[in-house]
Structure 1
Amino acid sequence: MSQHQSSQKSPMQQADIQQQITNSIIKILEKGTIPWKKPFVSDTTKFLGLPINFTTGVNYNGINILLLWINAMDKQFPTNEWATLKQWNKLNESIRPQQKGTMIVKYDFFEKEKDGEIERIPYIKKSYVFNRSQLKSYVPVVGDHPVTDNVVEKIETIEEFVSNTKVKIQHGGFQAFYNRADDVITMPPTEHFIDTDYCTAGENYYSTMFHELGHWTGHESRLKRLNDKFTKGNYAKEELVAELTASFLNAKFEIAGNEIPNSAAYIASWLKELKDDKNMIVSAASAASKAVRYLESLDC
C-alpha cells in the first residue's frame, strides 16, 4: 500500500476521494453513532481527544480529526497516536500483519500556466496512517486508557431490574452496541462515561444501557423485531424504538436521559424519516411500550 499519493489527481479522482470521506461519515451515522458527540470517552482524553502525530507531536486537524475518530471507534483503538508507515519505520517500528492504514487527506496546490499567467489549482492528496496500537511492539499500558474523575454511581433499583432480565452484558472497548448474533450487549467500562451539561456520568451510562436493552428485546427469541427479514430499510425505525424504550425507562427510574445532540443534521434526518413514513412514530412508540412491558415482566 502506498503511504503517500502525491501525484496530481484528475477531477474525477478528486471527487472519488471526497466521496470516500463522505461515505465514511455516512457509514458511522448509519450505525447510530454521531462521531463528534458521545456520552463517554473513546480514547486518551474526554470526548475522544484530538488525534496526534506520534513523531511530530502535532495534532491532526479539519476533516482528518473525524476520519481518525471514526476509525478509532470502529477498530476500538485505545490510543490517539498516529503516524505514517514511513514515520514508524524511522523509529524502527513495524506494523502487525493484516493491519490496514487509515486514510487522511491534505489539500495542496499545483501550478499551471494559463494565458501567460501562473494559476494555482487546489487538489487533494491522500495518505495513510497507523495507530500506535497497530504496531508489533505495542503493549497496552494504563496511560493508553481514559482517565476521568467522573464516577458512575450504581443505582440499585436499576441494577436489580437489569439483572432480572438475565441479559448478557460485557464491558470493554469504546462502543455501546447490541450484537444480535451473539445476543450480547457490549458497554464501555463505567469509568469511560462522563458528566455532561445535562446528565451525570451514571445517567449517561444507564440511559445508554437502556437503549441497547431496547434492541435486545427485539431478538427473535423475544419480541421478534430483529429476525432474518430485518434489513436496512427498517433500521431507522428500530433505532427510534430503542431511543423511545430508553426514554420510557429513564422516566420509570426518574433519571435524565442522554443529551440530545444539538445538531441540525441529526434532527433533519429524523424529520425526513418521519415525513417519509407517517406511521413510524406511532408504530415505534407502540413497540417501545411493548419492549418496556416485556422487560417489566422479567423483573421478578
Structure 2
Amino acid sequence: MRADVYARVTDAIVAAIESGVARGKDWRMPWHRRRDPSGSPMLPVNVARGAAYGGVNTLALWAAAEARGYPGGLWGTYRQWAELGGQVRKGERAATVVYWRFPDAAKGGEAEDGEEVEEGARRGPWARAYAVFNAAQVDGAALPRDAAPRLPEAARIAEAEAFFAALPGLDLRHGGNAAFYSPGTDHVQMPPFADFRTVGGYYATLAHEAAHWTGHPSRLARDLTGRFGGQAYAAEELVAELGAAFALAALGFTAEPREDHARYVAHWLGLLRGDRRAIFTAAGKAQAAADWLIAAAKQRAP
C-alpha cells in the first residue's frame, strides 16, 4: 500500500511533465505557475487549516491544478469541504497528498484530515495518502477570505531585490552569458540583468542558482551521490528547480521556464520513472533549500 502511494503521486507528476512537453513551444512544467486570477495564494493551501502544503504535496497539487485547469489554490478533503457547507460535485476526481507519520505521532494525535491516530499504531515514519479536492470542484462552500498580500508588480520586483540582497554571504556576480553556481569559489554567476527577456526570468534563474548555493557544506551540506549515484546531477538540478519554485511562490512570485529546461526534462523523466521515491526525496530537499533561503533572508531583513 505504501508503495502505491509513491507510485500514484509520482505517476501524476510524470503525466503533468509529459503534458507540458507535449505543448511544444508553450511547454510548462507543473511548477511554472501562471499568476492566479482568483487572488488565491500561488502555494496550494489547505482550506481548513489555512496553511500551505509543503514538499511533494506542493508539487503534486500544482501538477493537478495545471492538468485540470483549476484557477485557484485552495484544497481540502471531502470532510473539510463539507464542514464549510460545501459539496464536492458528483464525478469529480480527487488529487492525492501525503501525510507523514513519525514515531512520536503513534502515541495518539490528529491526522491531516482530522482522523485520529490510533495509539499503538505502526512506528513510522511512513506515508499515508489522502484525497483532496480543489475549490473549483466544490459547490456552496463558505470560503475563508484570502489574507495573502497581492502586491503590484513594481513592489514585487523591489521585494525580490531585497530578498536576494538579504541572503547572508551570497557572492553574486554578473557578467558573461551563463548562469551557474560554482562550488569551488562558492559564488553565483548571472548574466547582466539587461540580457534577460523578462524580469520574471531573471529572478527565477537567480532563485535556481541560489537553491544550488544552499547545498554548500557550510549551509545545508547537500550531497545526493549516496542516494542517486550516477543520477545525482539530474537530481540536484531537479532540487534546485523545485527549491526555486517553492521559494518564489512563498514570496508571491511565479516561476518562469528557463531556456535550458529542455535538456533536463528527459533526465528528470528517466529519474522519476526509474525510482518512484525520487520525487519525494527531491521535493523534500527542495523544500529544505527554500526554507533555508527564506529564513536566512528574514534574519538579515531590516
Q: TM-score range by the shorter chain?
A: 0.3 to 0.5
Per the normalisation by structure 1, the TM-score is 0.43
Higher Rg of the two aligned structures? 1
Kindly indicate which of the two structures has a greater share of residues assigned to helix: 2
Per the normalisation by structure 2, the TM-score is 0.43
Ranked by relative contact order (alpha carbons within 8 Å, sequence separation 6 or more), the top structure is: 2
